[in-house]
């Protein structure tokens, strides 16, 4: 946790961006896995964590934006609970840790909200993403559970984005911790992989590193020989010589901040010649984008820059053709690069996605495209000092997509479809780093993880398998 002043200052700043009424943050509760007593790992709501800092279940926080007063709602546990859970910090000590002067029992929350409603004061809350939160809100605010989502406060959403988008020094320290663990997770997989092991064995090792550091995975690990499936959470394959392993995973630090890194490496000690050629294009795209990071540049332009590097590289290999800019304007690169270049990252791996992607990644100046590929770009707006974002271009050979485009003759002036036959079983390559935008440009966060072909092959050659 940060010092109590951090949370007080954040709430004060939030109060200055919201005109009237109360802001309600419902902390998360345990979520049952197969019965109530056997819950998923507890993950606190990120907005609650940002403004009220506490990682315990069953809490709520209210900020009165007019008086500036903060109240924490929660109950001290009974001895019956202590028998099962062990001693717990008192609610008063928890409230002090986050600088909340007022402390009330949880049962008082309904009354406080009802009073505010009766007085005609607005109650702002962020959009709920868990059904239990949705039910609680409907109960507290006496509204229909099916419409409660529609009444989430856009004024609050915009105010939160104005704060959380800019990472402070202490947040960067926490993100560096997440990335130090994430680097170790990647190194262990690169050292361990060998034909005959399963993806699941690698995932177990990677997860173990995250748990050993005191945190956990920031999201379900993508670790697969089928990298062409973008969010592949199956880990049942056995590694075979000739395959590529795409590993996209990151640690969540003990403070709740995420790392999100991707590396792709061969099951063998070396890449094949074909793999090397594609890998180098992805690396060139990633490096070109990183070098272009600076305040003021629209991230959408960098997505298109990555597209141009990919089209030029694939054209040099005889897989694409025609004018590079025209191909990118037509979205032809999306056959190989169908996702966005990256997203903000912080307390969430896709930071603040619960608030709505477009509130976070777009603005009045730059709106989301409807074009296949570009429409998946989560962050399009101009970059600003203090943003932390991922840079994650990739090239994938997705047989079903290739067949569909080919049958329709889509972008036939830019794609050598016959030449793609030799790549049907290629899989996919993605390379991803997390970068801070600084006044002067950028800083790649976290320790270096082998990335060039020579670096990756050096690690693969150094191990005994």
Binding residues for Mn ion, rule: CB under 5 A, are 260, 390
DSSP assignment of 134-159 equals: HHHHHHHHT--TTTGGGGS-HHHHHH
- In angstroms, the CA 8 to CA 17 distance is 15
Residue 129: how many CA atoms within 13 Å on its side-chain side? 13
Residue 260 interacting with ligand GLY (CB under 6 A): yes
Encoded tokens for 17: 């961006």
Among 248, 268, 348, 357, the residue binding ligand GLY under the rule CB under 6 A is 248
- Scored b (16 or more CB within 10 A) or e, 264-295 reads bbbbbeebeeebeebbebbbbbbbbbeebbeb
Question: Residue 23's CB: how many other CB atoms inside 10 A?
Answer: 26
The 189-228 contact track toward ligand GLY, x by CB under 6 A, reads: ------------------------------x---------
- If contact means CB under 5 to 8 A according to the sort of partner, which of Mn ion, ligand GLY, none does residue 199 touch? none
Least Å distance between CB 135 and ligand GLY? 28
Residues 362-421 touching ligand GLY, rule: CB under 6 A, are none
- If contact means CB under 5 to 8 A according to the sort of partner, which of ligand GLY, Mn ion, none does residue 103 touch? none
Q: Which of 324, 329, 314 is nearest to 393 (CA)?
A: 314
Q: Which is nearer to Mn ion, 275 or 390 (CB)?
A: 390
Q: Which is nearer to ligand GLY, 451 or 460 (CB)?
A: 451
Say whether 216 sits in a helix, a strand or coil.
strand
Least Å distance between CB 339 and ligand GLY? 8
Least Å distance between CB 223 and ligand GLY? 11
Q: Which is nearer to Mn ion, 6 or 390 (CB)?
A: 390
Cβ neighbourhood burial of 14 (10 Å; 0-12, 13-18, 19+): buried
Least Å distance between CB 246 and ligand GLY? 11
Q: Are strands 22-26 and 60-64 parallel, antiparallel or unpaired?
A: antiparallel
- If contact means CB under 5 to 8 A according to the sort of partner, which of ligand GLY, Mn ion, none does residue 181 touch? none
- If contact means CB under 5 to 8 A according to the sort of partner, which of ligand GLY, Mn ion, none does residue 201 touch? none
How many residues touch ligand GLY (CB under 6 A)?
4
What is the DSSP code (8-state) at residue 186?
H
Least Å distance between CB 341 and ligand GLY? 11
Q: Which is nearer to ligand GLY, 45 or 260 (CB)?
A: 260
Q: Which is nearer to ligand GLY, 260 or 354 (CB)?
A: 260
- In angstroms, the CA 408 to CA 402 distance is 10
Binding region for ligand GLY (CB under 6 A): 219, 248, 260, 349
């Amino acid at each position: 946790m940060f010092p109590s002043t951090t949370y007080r200052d954040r709430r004060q700043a939030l109060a200055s961006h919201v005109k009237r009424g109360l802001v309600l943050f419902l902390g998360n509760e345990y979520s049952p896995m197969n019965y109530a007593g056997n819950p998923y790992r507890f993950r606190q709501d990120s907005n609650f964590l940002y403004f009220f800092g506490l990682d315990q279940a069953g809490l709520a926080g209210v900020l009165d934006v007019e008086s500036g007063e903060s109240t924490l709602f929660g109950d001290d546990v009974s001895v019956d609970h202590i028998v099962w859970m062990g001693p717990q910090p008192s609610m008063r000590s928890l409230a002090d840790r986050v600088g909340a002067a007022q402390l009330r029992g949880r049962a008082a929350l309904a009354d406080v909200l009802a009073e505010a409603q009766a007085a005609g004061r607005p109650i702002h809350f962020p959009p709920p993403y868990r059904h239990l939160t949705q039910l609680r809100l409907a109960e507290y605010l006496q509204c229909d559970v099916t419409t409660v989502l529609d009444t989430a406060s856009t004024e609050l959403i915009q105010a939160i984005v104005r704060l959380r988008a800019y990472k402070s020094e202490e947040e960067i320290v926490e993100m560096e911790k997440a990335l130090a663990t994430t680097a170790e997770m990647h190194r262990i997989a690169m050292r361990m992989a060998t034909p005959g092991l399963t993806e699941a064995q690698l995932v177990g090792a990677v997860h173990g590193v995250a748990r050993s550091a005191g945190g956990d995975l920031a999201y379900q690990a993508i670790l697969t020989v089928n990298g062409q499936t973008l969010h592949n959470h199956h880990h049942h394959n056995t590694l075979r010589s000739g395959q590529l392993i795409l590993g996209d995973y990151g640690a969540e630090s003990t403070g709740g901040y995420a790392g999100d890194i991707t590396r792709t490496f061969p099951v063998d000690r070396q890449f094949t010649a074909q793999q090397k050629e594609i890998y180098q294009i992805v690396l060139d795209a990633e490096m070109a984008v990183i070098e272009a990071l600076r305040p003021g540049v629209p991230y959408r332009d960098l997505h298109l820059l990555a597209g141009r590097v990919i089209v030029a590289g694939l054209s040099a290999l005889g897989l694409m053709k025609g004018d590079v800019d025209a191909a990118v304007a037509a979205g032809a690169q999306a056959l190989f690069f169908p996702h966005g270049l990256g997203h903000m990252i912080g307390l969430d791996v896709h930071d603040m996605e619960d608030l709505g992607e477009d509130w976070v990644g777009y603005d009045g100046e730059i709106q989301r495209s409807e074009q296949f590929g570009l429409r998946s770009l989560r962050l399009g707006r101009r970059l600003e000092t203090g943003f932390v974002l991922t840079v994650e271009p990739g090239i994938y050979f997705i047989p079903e997509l290739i067949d569909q485009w080919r049958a329709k003759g889509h972008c036939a002036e830019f794609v050598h479809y016959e030449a793609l036959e030799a790549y049907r079983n290629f899989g996919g390559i993605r390379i991803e780093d997390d970068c801070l935008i600084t006044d002067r440009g950028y800083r790649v966060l976290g320790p270096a993880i082998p990335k060039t072909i020579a670096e990756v092959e050096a690690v693969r050659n150094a191990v005994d398998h």
